[in-house]
Structure 1
Amino acid sequence: MKTTIHDVARRAGVSISTVSRVMNTPQMVGKSKRLRVLEAIEALKYQPNAFARGLIYKKSFTLGLLIPDIESMYYAGMIRGMQDACIKLGYSLMICNTDRNKERLLAYIDTFHEKQVDGIVFASDAMLPEYHRKLTDYKIPTVLVSTHSEEYSLPCIEIDDEAAAYDAVKFLIGLGHRDIGMIGFHHDNSISGPPRYAGFIRAITEFGLPENTSKVSYANYRFNHAYAATHDLLISYPELTALFCVSDEFAMGAISYLKDRNILVPGQISIIGFDNVRMAGMFIPKLTTVAQPIYQLGYRAAEKLHELITTGRVEIRREILEHQLMIRESTRER
């Protein structure tokens, strides 16, 4: 027969509430009682029932994560970071893939409410009024990761996309490139697309290369879209010697297109990506890229959400993590 919290309390000679406090807030229990309870838990091999624990504390000890694309290499690193933080903090994690579909995302918020999650991490998408209204109505604590909101005062954690893009293009210019193009995200409902474009424009303007302003092609997040966008860009601007791609997946799509056309990377065209996903160091050629601290973004998002759930506030509302340039094989001097 399975051991219950009543068995532990009886063996330790304490109340059920004392056993609960030892498991959840041990600092609130005196040393002698705490040791008796811990010894009873060990002796009886007690495994707390998550549902019963939730009834006592009016919490599910579950966090929800809304991500746009569960197949993306970028989100795999973020999920790993968040999962590790959840283990440390005592939460389970529910992951929902939205495909950037408004109706599906709203339905997932309903599901999270029905499952009584303690809070939600909302990744990468724009916080639309419909989303915020529903989250507010349900009173679900929410933290944004790899996105932010100018309209709503929601805690967030991200990098400085504009500065990171600027550094990437500045690096290409420093290698002697003067004909530089960009494969970017469409700006409609994109959080990172506009600031990364702005970083590209700032760098080429600052270094006296305004003729590159028009050398931009846009794609919809996936490898094959970037492949097609590279074709379109090079048909219009065959003189390009370097490409800034706003994601590593885009960079890989561009390199694949160039390889299929027998255009050497970096011999004829240098490519720089963005993210530093795990595959970036395995790809051929190994990808020069702007490294986001992807794992840390996920980890800190869970920690920040836990802070919001337990205290009702966060110390730093908008937290910016540092990016870093990773120089590998896909770029060279002009």
Structure 2
Amino acid sequence: MSYTIKDVAKHANVSIATVSRVLNGQSGYSKATEEKVLVAIKELGYQPNAFARGLISRKSNSLGILFPEVSSQFSSKILRGVEEAAHRLDSSVIVCNTASHGQRTIKYLQLLTEKRVDGILFVSETITEEYYKKLESMQIPVVLISTESYQYPLPFVKVDDKHAAFTATDYLVKMGHSKIGMISGNKDDIIAGQPRIDGYKQALTQRGLPIKEENIVQSQGFSFKDGFTGLPKLLEQSPGLTAIFAASDALALGAISSAYKLGIRIPDHLSIIGYDNLPIAEMAIPPLTTVAQPLEEMGMVAAEMLFTMMDQGRRVESRIMPHSVIERESVKEIKFT
């Protein structure tokens, strides 16, 4: 027999309007009334939609993921890993594009609260006090991806940015380069900006090479445009450079495009290594040598960590993921005779 909302109301001895308010998460009823409605739904087997089923199980079988830029290749690779894990565990994913905007992020967190998601994945943004208070108020598990918080106790999945930047720079040294510049992100970005600068500097220091501030151009972000405008500025400051570490693939591709406009051949005149290993890196001309972050795997691991927290109610350990150099054709080896 198929029961209706009217049957639920009669069984619980409440009005149809009250059942509707409970089903839609609205206010205007007591906790005792809510329990009566949920018991009636369960006893009658009334299941109008996934939301009602979630009320009965106290789970929505959904999780929210917040990206600063959802359309980027960086985000799409992480999302692919998250969705693979979520679908395997019979859950759905609600994707939010925050545009790194504080008010929009808070609005999305409120929306996810209303959707009663079971957990949150927070990608590639700094956790502010406002964000943390809102996340804490939701009382659901949270895992960070490609970011971390020194101030707040939230588990994360990311690559060691300083170590990966060290590896990229050291690779250029191993290829025979000693005059190495850097196009960095924003140094005020404590997650991916300054650590990658520090890794670059540490590699030079350990190889006995001088650190010169004029060999570094700091950008506002990690975009193609930042790389395009950064290369001419860097070469004007340091015309003798033979190689550049760009702190993202987008920065590297912007620099390669700028070099083309300037008549500079990559890698014959100038070698460039990127950071991320986005799909577009192998489509570049020349194909981009880069440090790979396992973005899809990071998304999958983070989702699995989140499900562990949701199912077992315990905190999980953070994960530092491995990185590696993907050799293509944008770096030339300098051989000394």
Contiguous gaps of at least 5 residues in structure 2: 5-46
What's the counterpart of residue 319 of structure 1? 319
Question: Given residue 269 of structure 1, which amino acid in structure 2 is its aligned partner?
Answer: L
**SS of aligned partner of 1:274:** strand
Q: 2:3, 2:184 → 1: CA distance?
A: 58
What's the counterpart of residue 235 of structure 1? 236
Matched, 1:114 2:114: yes
What's the counterpart of residue 275 of structure 2? 274
The C-alpha deviation readout for 1:219-275, integer Å capped at 9, x for no partner, is 222111211111211111111110101111111000000011110100011000001
Q: 1:283, 1:306 → 2: CA distance?
A: 37
What's the counterpart of residue 93 of structure 2? 93
What's the counterpart of residue 226 of structure 1? 227
Map 1:20-31 → 2, pairs under 5 A: none
Q: TM-score, normalised by structure 1?
A: 0.83
What's the counterpart of residue 127 of structure 2? 127
What's the counterpart of residue 161 of structure 1? 161
Report deviation, 1:2: 8.4
What's the counterpart of residue 292 of structure 1? 293
The C-alpha deviation readout for 1:162-182, integer Å capped at 9, x for no partner, is 111111100101111111111
What's the counterpart of residue 103 of structure 2? 103
Q: 1:64, 1:266 → 2: CA distance?
A: 42
Q: 1:94, 1:187 → 2: CA distance?
A: 32
Higher mean alpha-carbon deviation, 90-99 vs 183-192, is at 183-192
Map 1:1-334 → 2, pairs under 5 A: 49-219=49-219, 220-315=221-316, 317-334=317-334
Higher mean alpha-carbon deviation, 186-195 vs 249-258, is at 186-195
**SS of aligned partner of 1:210:** coil
Question: Given residue 232 of structure 2, which amino acid in structure 1 is its aligned partner?
Answer: H
The C-alpha deviation readout for 1:282-310, integer Å capped at 9, x for no partner, is 11101100011010011111111111111
Q: 2:3, 2:145 → 1: CA distance?
A: 40
The C-alpha deviation readout for 1:69-107, integer Å capped at 9, x for no partner, is 112211110011111111001111111111111111111
- The question of whether the paired residues in 2 share the 8 Å contact of 1:125 and 1:189 is answered with no
Q: 1:175, 1:133 → 2: CA distance?
A: 48
Contiguous gaps of at least 5 residues in structure 1: 5-46
Q: CA RMSD in A?
A: 1.8
Report deviation, 1:139: 1.3
- The question of whether the paired residues in 1 share the 8 Å contact of 2:124 and 2:147 is answered with yes
Higher mean alpha-carbon deviation, 209-218 vs 236-245, is at 209-218
Q: Which runs of 4+ in 1 moved over 2 A?
A: 1-4, 187-190, 211-214
Report deviation, 1:48: 9.3
Q: 1:139, 1:258 → 2: CA distance?
A: 50
Report deviation, 1:49: 4.1
Report deviation, 1:138: 2.0
Q: 1:275, 1:103 → 2: CA distance?
A: 28
Alpha carbons of structure 1 residues 221 and 72: separation in structure 2 relative to 1, 3 Å: same
Q: 1:244, 1:85 → 2: CA distance?
A: 34
**SS of aligned partner of 2:153:** coil
- The question of whether the paired residues in 1 share the 8 Å contact of 2:214 and 2:234 is answered with no
Alpha carbons of structure 1 residues 204 and 48: separation in structure 2 relative to 1, 3 Å: farther
Q: 2:126, 2:237 → 1: CA distance?
A: 32
- The question of whether the paired residues in 1 share the 8 Å contact of 2:201 and 2:211 is answered with no
Q: 2:148, 2:103 → 1: CA distance?
A: 21
**SS of aligned partner of 1:285:** coil
Alpha carbons of structure 1 residues 56 and 256: separation in structure 2 relative to 1, 3 Å: same
- The question of whether the paired residues in 1 share the 8 Å contact of 2:188 and 2:194 is answered with no
The C-alpha deviation readout for 1:11-59, integer Å capped at 9, x for no partner, is xxxxxxxxxxxxxxxxxxxxxxxxxxxxxxxxxxxx9942232021111
Q: 2:222, 2:203 → 1: CA distance?
A: 23
Aligned length: 291
Report deviation, 1:190: 4.5
Q: 1:89, 1:197 → 2: CA distance?
A: 39
**SS of aligned partner of 2:268:** coil
**SS of aligned partner of 1:154:** coil
Q: 1:288, 1:102 → 2: CA distance?
A: 35
